[in-house]
Amino acid sequence: MLLNSFLGLKSVLANDFSIIFNNEQLVLKKKVTSTANDTNWQIEYQKTEGKIAFQFIDDTGQIILPQNSTNFESTQDKWMMEKTIKNTGVFNFTTTSSTKEIKLYAKIYQTNSDKESIIFQITDPLLIKSDITEQANSITDTTKKIQQSSTSSANTTTSSSVEDTTISSEQPKAALKATAAAQVLAIPLSGTVSNSDPFAYTQNSTGNFLTNSTNSYTNNLTSEYIKNYTFNRSLTEGTSTVKNIFSSGSLTFENGYHDYDDVLLKKTISPTSDPTQFNIQLDMIGKALVNRQKVDVIFVIDKSSSMNDRLGSSGSRWDTAQTALKNFADNLLNSSNNDTIRMALASFGSVEKVPFADIAKFNNSFFINNSTTYKDHPLLNQKPGIDSSTGSGTPTYLGLDAAYALATNTQFGSRTDAAKVVIMLTDGEPTYTTNDTYSSLTNRILDLPTTSSTTKNRYSAQRTNGTSTINYFSGNGSNDQSDSTISYVNQRNNSSLFQNIKKYSIGYITGTNNVLKTIGTDGTYTANNENQLTTILNSLSTALTATIQNATLSDPLSAFVDLINTPTIQALSLVANSLNLIAENSLNYPAYADQVQKNFSPSQLQLSNINLGSDNATRQGLRLNYKVQLKEAYRDNLFYPTNGMTVLTNQLNNAATYYHFAIPSARVPKKTIDLQVKKTWDDSQNKWGLRKAITFQLQQKIGTTWTNVSGQSKTLPATTTNWSTSFSNLQQYQNGIAIDYRVIETSESNEFISGYEKPVYSPTSTTAGATLEVINTLKTTFITLKKFQPDGETPLANAKFGLYLKNKPQTMLQEATSTTEGNVVLSDLPIGSYLLKEITAPNGYSLMNDLNFVISQNTQGELVIDGLPTENKLINQLKDFKFSFTKTSTTGTALSGATFELSQNGTVLETSTSTKDGTVSFSKELRPGQYNLKETQAPAGYSTPTNQWTLTIDQKQNVTIKNQTQEIIYNQKALFDTEKNSWIIKDFKLTNQLNDFTLKVLKKDSFGNSLNGAVFKLTGPNQYSKIITGEQATFEFIGLNPGTYSLSEIKTPEGYQSLKDSVTIFIDTSGKVVIDQKELPSVLSKNGNIIQLEITNQVLMPLPKTGGIGLLPFILIGFITAATFGTALFIRRVGDHNEN
C-alpha cells in the first residue's frame, strides 16, 4: 500500500529533522531519538523576530520543565522562555522512554516596546510522537489541525508548512522529503461545513486521490494521468451535491458543479502537451439571497455646489449621480425584497456659509423599502445650493454623523437585527470640519438645532440665541479641511457604536483622497463618469444581496507541484443554459470581479474581497486558472494531490462560512534514467599488463545503507578495448524521493583490484542520469638504491641500469643512472617480479650481478618489496689492475734485461724482464691487496739490489709502494685505461747502479808478444790519477766511474817506441765507452764492466825523413765483456751507499 511506502519513508528519515510547523514568522522542526531507557526530543526553531517560549505537555498531562537548557528558563506560568534572543536555535531535552508523545505550544513576544506583548502563538498543540509508525499518523492529525486553523487571525495563526513550498533554502533535503510525505497523509478523509475538507480521498498503491474520482476533464476527453471529482454523477458529500448548473439538460462533466445551495464551486485539472504540467481551474458562482439577511442601507450624498458642475454631454455631476442612485435603489428595493433591505437617505451642504445635514423622511419614516418613494424624494430631486446665495460647501463630518445616527438610533427606525451599511458619495475635499464645541456635544448631530418638515430633518451647525451665535464647525467653505476631518472620522470609526457598520465611500470626479479612504473602511471607490458610478453602485448592490460576501479564497499548492505561470482571473456570468467568460482586460469586465484583491505566491493563491450574487437573473462568478508542474521527485506514476485544502471563506452576516473544493490529483509516468559507467585506467596504457576483468554491481541507497540492485551487474573482460557500459531504464524516484544510485567494483576484492589503488568513483553516486566514472589508478611505489664503491661507503656515480620484468628480460621498462650521491631511483613501480641489470658500469668497475626483486600487495592494499640487498646497497667491484714500471739507470737511461719476480703471500705470481725501453710489465691481473716485488737479476753491467718492495692496492684505487725499510717510494691513484680496460699503475721507476769499470791494458810488441817494463798513467774525473809500472805486460785500472780519462805511457820498454799521445777514454753514464772518438761495443757484462786495451810497441827505428810518418803506428784493441748484476734501479753516489 502507498501508506506503507510513506511510513517506510518516515523510518528512513527518522534520524533527520523534519518540519512540523512553517509560516512566515516561525518554522519548527523536530527530531526524536529513542533508546531502551530514554527519549531525546529536539525542537529546532527559526523565527524572524521576538522572543520565543515553549510549553511541553507529556501524554499524562504533566507539563515538562527541562532543567538543563542553556538558553531557556522556566517562567511562573510554566513556560520555557528564551533567555537570549536568537533567530535560530535548538531546544533539547530528554524524558524517560515511557513518554510516547508530547504536545507542543509556542508563543512569540514582541520585545522592542516597554511591555512585552504576544505577537504570535500556536493555540492548537503540535503533537510529536516518539514511535516511528505513530509519527506518520500524527502528521495527518497535526496537518488537519493546522489546516483547520489556516484562516485564523495573524495573532493566532496555525497554518502549516505542509502546503507551503516556499521553504527556505537552508532547510535540509530530508526535511523537504518528510514534508512531502506528510502532505500525502494530510488530506482529511471526512469533513463538515466547518473548515474541514468534506470530501473522501483514497490512498492505495496508485497514489492519493479523490474517492469519487474520474479521469474525465471534459465531456468527451479523459486522461489516465489525472483524477477529477466525478462531476457527471449526482453525488452528495458533506453539504454539497453535484448538480447541473444549467436550467435544462442532463448532468454532464462540464455542467456538473458542487452546489452548496447558494454557492456553486468546481475545481478541475486537465492535461497539457507537456506530460509533467497540468492546468488547474477553479469556478465560484454566487446568486442572490433567497432568505435574505436584513440590511439597513444609508446613502449619504454630497450636495455641495460643485455637484452642479457639468459632466460633458451627460449633464451635471448631480444629474448623473441622481440617476445612478435611483438605479441603485431599484436594484435593492425590488419586488423580491420582502422588506429585508430598507434604505435611508441623507445629504450635507451649507446655506449662507452655515453647514447642515438633511435626513430624508418618507411619510414620517426614515427607512423605506419602496424604490419609487425613495427615488421621488426631494433630497434626490432638488439640486444642491439652490437655497443659498453663497453656494453650498462640503461639511463631510455632518453627513457621516447623520448616517451614523440613522444606523444606530432607533428613533429613526433602525432595526437592531439588521446589518448596517453606510455609503457616502462626495465630489471633493471637505471645506467645513468640526470644532471643540461640536465635539463636546453628547449626541453630536442630534444635539444641533433641528428643523423638521414632512420630508426631512435639517440639522444646522449654528445656534442663535438673541444676539449670540454658537458655531459647531470651523472652516469657511472654501479651504481644505481634510486633516481635521480625518482625525474626527477615525475617532468616530473607532467607537464601539459604529464598528459593526459596513462603510463605503465613493469619490465622484475626484481622486481617491485620504478622507475617502478613512471613511470607506470596507471599500473606497472612484468614478469619473455615470457608467463607472453605476457600475460601482451595482457592485455594491450585488454585495448587499449576494450569497458570497467579502469572501476569501485560499488555494494552497501542495508540496508536490510548482506554480509555473501567472494565474489569471476571468469573470463568469451564468444565464440559463450559458456560462459566459469575461476577460480581465475587457471593457465590460464587471466591477465585482475588478474589486477582487489578488495575492499570489509560489506556494499559495489567495483572492479576497470576493462578492458574488445575482443581477437580473444573471449569476455572477469568477474563474481562476493557473498551471502547475509535478515536481521531478514525484514523477513516479503515483497520483499526488495538486493542492492543499482549498476553501472559500464567506463572511456573510459577519460570520465565517466555509465552502470546500474537491482536490484533484495528477501523476506523471514513472521517470527512468540511464546510467553510463566509464572505466578509466590510470596505468600508462596498461604498460605493466595488470588489467583484469571488471564487474560493476549497481547499488541503490535505502536509508543509509547501500543495497545491491538485483540482476543489475555488468562485467567487462580484461581484453576489451571499450571500457564502458550502462544500466538502462532505472526507476528515478520512489515515494517522491530520488533514488540514489552508485556502482561498485566486485572483481577479486571489494576493496581493490590487485595492483591498483582503491577505485575512485566520480561522482560517488547520482540521482539523475549521469556518467559514473570509475577510476583505477595503478598503485606504484619507488625504490631508491645506493650505488657504492667496493668500500661500501663511497658513492659511485654514472652506473647505468636497466629495469625489466623477470619474464620479459628483453624489454626494458625504465633506465636509471646513479647520481653523484650514488642514488639509483626506480619510480612508478607496480606489483611484479623485476630484474635489474647494470648496463654500464663506471670506468674501472666491473658490472654487478643481476638483481631480482618482487613487489607484491598485501591484504591491506599496501605494496611490499622483497629481494633488495641490505640497506639497498649496490656495490661494484673494481676491474683488475695492471702493474708495469720502467727500469732505468741512475741517469734515467732505460735498462733492459732486468728480471723481477712478483709474489703474494709467498707465492710467485709472475716473472718479468725489462724490455729495451726499460718496461717491466706483468700480465697478471691484480686485485686490490698486497704484493711483493723482487729484482732477481740486474741488467748487464749493473748491480743487483738486495732490496725488496711491497706493493699495496686498496679499494679506492690507491697504490702504495714501500721499500724494505717501509719508506714510501710511490703513492698515487691508479688510472683507468679504457683501451686496456684495466687500472694502470703509472710513473713508477726503479733504477740500477752502474758497476765500476776496469781498464785492462795489454802491452805487446809488434809480434804479439807480451811486453814488460812499460809504465802507464791514467787520469780522470774526480782527481782520479794512477800510475802502474809494467813488471808485467798487463796493466789494470779498477774503480772507474763514468767520465773522461786520459791514458799515457810514461815509460816505454827499452828498445821500443813509446806512445807519442795519450789515449782518451770516455765512459758514458749509460755505460758506453768511446776511445779516441771511437765507440767500442758494449763492455757491460755480468762479469764486470772491463775495457780491454791492447797497446803494441814497435821496435825503435831510425827517425823518418821529412814528410814521412810522424808517429809510430800502434794498434788499439779493445773489447768489452759486460756483466749484469740485476734489474733494480739503483743510483750509486759518491759517499752514499743507500738505495733510492
pLDDT in tens, 650-661: 887 667 889 999
Instruction: Label each residue of 1026-1066 as H, E or C.
Output: EEEECCCCEEEEEEECCEEEEEEEEECCCCECCCCCCEEEE
The closest alpha carbon to 268, from 563, 668, 661, belongs to: 661
Containing 829, the helix (H) or strand (E) segment is: strand 823-829
Q: Which DSSP string do the residues of 847-912 spell out, in sequence order?
A: PPPPEEEEEEE-TTS-EEEE-PPGGGEEEPPBPPEEEEEEEEETTS-B----EEEEEETTEEEEEE
Question: Does 345 have pLDDT greater than 90?
Answer: yes
Is 1025 found in the same domain as 950? no
**Whole-angstrom Cα distance, residue 922 to residue 666?**
108
pLDDT at 313: 75
Instruction: Identify the pLDDT of residue 13.
Output: 32
CB neighbours of 586 closer than 8 A, spacing ≥ 6?
none
Split at pLDDT 50, 70, 90, the class of 538 is confident
Distance CA 888, CA 896 (A): 8
- Tell whether 350 and 208 lie within a shared domain: no
Residue type for position 334: N
Residue that is last in its domain, among 738, 756, 777: 777
Q: What is the pLDDT of residues 1049-1061, one digit of tens each?
A: 988 888 888 888 8
Write down the pLDDT at residue 851: 94
Predicted pLDDT of residue 748:
63
State pLDDT tens for residues 105-128. Answer: 999 888 765 556 788 888 778 888
Output phi, psi for 368, to 5 deg: -140, 150
Q: Are residues 76 and 159 in the same domain?
A: yes
| Across 682-689, average pLDDT | 89
3-state helix, strand, coil in the chain (%, to 5): 15, 45, 40
| Cα(951)–Cα(53) distance, integer angstroms | 104
Task: Kindly state whether residues 28 and 144 are assigned to the same domain.
Answer: yes
Confidence of residue 227 (pLDDT cuts 50, 70, 90): very high
Helix, strand, or coil (residue 489): helix
Q: Looking at 356-360, 362-366, 623-627, which range is the least confident one?
A: 362-366
pLDDT at position 287 is 83
Question: Which of 777, 793, 811 is the last residue before a domain boundary?
Answer: 777
Average the pLDDT over each of 478-492, 509-523, 801-815 and give the range with the smallest value. 509-523
Q: List, for residues 733-780, the tens digit of each pLDDT value.
A: 887 788 999 999 986 665 778 889 889 999 999 988 889 999 999 999
Give the domain-ending residue among 938, 971, 992: 992
CB 803 within 8 A of CB 815: yes
User: Comparing 977 with 849, which gets the higher pLDDT?
Assistant: 849
What pLDDT sits at residue 236?
92
Supply the pLDDT for residue 899. 94
* 983, pLDDT greater than 70: yes
Cβ(591)–Cβ(536) under 8 Å? yes
Does 557 share its domain with 516?
A: no
d(CA 218, CA 305): 59
For the entire predicted model, the pTM comes to: 0.48
What is the reported pLDDT for 289? 66
Cell numbers for 371:
424604490
CATH code, 752: 2.60.40.1140
Please check whether residue 1137 lies inside any domain of the structure. Answer: no
Would you state the pLDDT for residue 379?
92
Contact 276, 610 (CB under 8 A): no
pLDDT per residue as tens digits for the range 856-876: 999 888 999 999 999 999 998
In this prediction, residues 421-440 reach a mean pLDDT of: 93
Taking the C-alpha atoms of residue 395 and residue 304, their distance in angstroms, rounded to an integer, is 9
- More confident site: 188 or 413: 413
Position 512 confidence tier, pLDDT thresholds 50, 70, 90: low
Give me the mean pLDDT over the 479-508 stretch.
Answer: 91
Burial 427-452 (b: 16+ CB within 10 A, else e): bbbbbbbbeeebeeeeebbbebeeee
Q: Which of 835, 837, 866, 831 is nearest to 849 (CA)?
A: 837
Stretch 1018-1047: mean pLDDT: 90
Q: Is residue 140 part of a domain?
A: yes
Residues comprising the chain, all counted: 1140
**What pLDDT is attached to residue 820?**
94
Check pLDDT > 80 for residue 309. yes
Residue 826, domain extent: 781-875
Q: What was the pLDDT predicted at 511? A: 64
CATH assignment at residue 600: 2.60.40.2110
Q: What is the structure's pLDDT at 544?
A: 77
| Residue 500 located in a structural domain | yes
Strands (E) located in 717-780: 724-731, 733-734, 737-738, 741-745, 760-762, 771-777
Residues 933, 948 contacting (CB under 8 angstroms) = yes
Question: Is residue 494 located within the same domain as residue 558?
Answer: no
Is 66 inside a domain boundary? yes
Q: Please indicate, yes or no, if residue 463 is contained in any of the structural domains.
A: no
Residues 561 and 599 in one domain: yes
> Is residue 1112 very low, low, confident or very high in pLDDT (cuts 50, 70, 90)?
very low
Q: Is the pLDDT of residue 1105 over 60?
A: no
- Distance from the Cα of residue 529 to its chain's centroid: 63
Q: Are 158 and 552 in contact (CB under 8 A)?
A: no
Cα separation of 723 and 771, whole Å? 13
Residues 10 and 159 placed together within one structural domain of the fold: yes
Residue 10 lies in a domain: yes
1140 within domain boundaries: no
Better-scored residue on pLDDT, 1136 or 452: 452
Res 1126 pLDDT > 90: no
d(CA 399, CA 954): 133
C-alpha cell at position 791: 668500500
Q: In whole angstroms, what is the distance from residue 55 CA to residue 76 CA?
A: 12
* H or E, element range at 380: helix 378-381
Confidence of residue 203 (pLDDT cuts 50, 70, 90): very high
Q: Would you state the pLDDT for residue 114?
A: 54
Q: Are residues 302 and 267 in the same domain?
A: no
CA dist list (Å): 851 to 427, 770, 818, 824, 848? 113, 49, 15, 13, 9
- Residue 8, pLDDT > 70, answer no
How confident is the prediction for the chain on average, in pLDDT?
A: 84
Q: Are 335 and 368 within one domain?
A: yes
Question: Tens digits of per-residue pLDDT, 577-600?
Answer: 999 999 999 988 988 898 899 999
Q: Find the mean pLDDT for residues 89-96.
A: 88
Please state, for a pLDDT cut of 70, what percent of the chain lies above it: 88
> What is the band of 330 on the pLDDT scale with cuts at 50, 70, 90?
confident
Position 592, amino acid: Y
Mean pLDDT, range 302-323, rounded to an integer: 86
Q: What confidence tens digit (pLDDT) does each residue in 254-277 have?
A: 999 999 887 999 999 999 999 999
Distance CA 983, CA 974 (A): 6
% of the chain surpassing 90 pLDDT: 48
95, part of any domain: yes
H or E element, residue 47: strand 38-47
CA distance 804 to 838: 11
What is the rounded average pLDDT of the residues 776-792?
92
Beta bridge partners of 24: none
Q: For residue 65, what is the DSSP state?
A: -
CATH number, domain of 114, equals 2.60.40
Domain count, the chain: 7
CA atoms within 13 A on the CB side of 762: 8
Residue 195's closest CA among 162, 234, 158?
158
φ/ψ region of 797 (left if φ > 0, alpha if ψ in -120 to 50, else beta) reads beta
- Backbone phi, psi, residue 789, to 5°: -70, 175
Examine the pLDDT at 245 and tell me if it is beyond 70. Answer: yes
Residues 748 and 802 in one domain: no
CA 981-987-992 angle, 5° bins: 125
Write out the H or E segment, with its range, that includes residue 381.
Answer: helix 378-381
Pair 393, 531 in one domain: yes
What is the domain-level CATH number for residue 1083? Answer: 2.60.40.10
Residues 618-633 pLDDT 10s: 899 999 999 999 998 8
Beta-bridge mates of residue 738: 733
Instruction: Kindly state the average pLDDT of the residues 634-660.
Output: 89
- 187-203: average pLDDT: 63
Beta strand segments in 914-1041, E: 919-921, 929-937, 948-953, 958-962, 968-973, 975-977, 982-985, 989-992, 997-1005, 1015-1020, 1024-1029, 1034-1040
Query: What is the CATH classification number for the domain harbouring 422?
Result: 3.40.50.410
